[in-house]
Amino acid sequence: MNNEQQAEASRSELKLDILGTSFSITADADEEYLKKVLVQYKAAIEATQKISGISEPLNIAILTGFMLCDEINKIKMQFKEASEDDELKQLEEMEVEERTLRLISKLEQALNLFGNEKNL
């Protein structure tokens, strides 16, 4: 099976029926995954309708898309902040390690010097 045949084999088709509009999509994803995304999107649409009171399908779809993008960006910011916190912790750990190694080196020098003086 060549790459093109493999790509076609991994493609799934899903029929969407949302806000009075029906169509099919084909995507490079597992059908179960696509169904899960569809359920999530429909839940987001319902939440948008409840929150906004909007009944126009196009407006609901646009506002839902906007709210989902907002949620994605907030999650990205949380991951970025967590990543920055991890990087800061790593830098702090490296600094502590460097200081510890310098202290050990100084202690070894002092012990060697003290040991040499004692042997004189």
pLDDT, tens digit (0-9, with 9 covering 90-100), for 35-90: 999 999 999 999 999 999 999 999 999 999 999 999 999 999 888 888 888 887 88
Q: How many CB atoms lie within 10 A of CB 52?
A: 13
The answer to whether the CB of 38 falls within 8 A of the CB of 16 is yes
105 domain-assigned? no
pTM: 0.60
107 domain-assigned? no
Q: How many CB atoms lie within 10 A of CB 68?
A: 15
24 domain-assigned? yes
Q: How many domains does the chain have?
A: 1
25 domain-assigned? yes
67 domain-assigned? yes
Extended beta strands in 5-116, E state: 12-18, 21-27
Tokens 């319902």 belong to 46
Host domain of residue 46: 3-86
Measured CA to CA, the distance from residue 34 to residue 38 in angstroms comes to 6
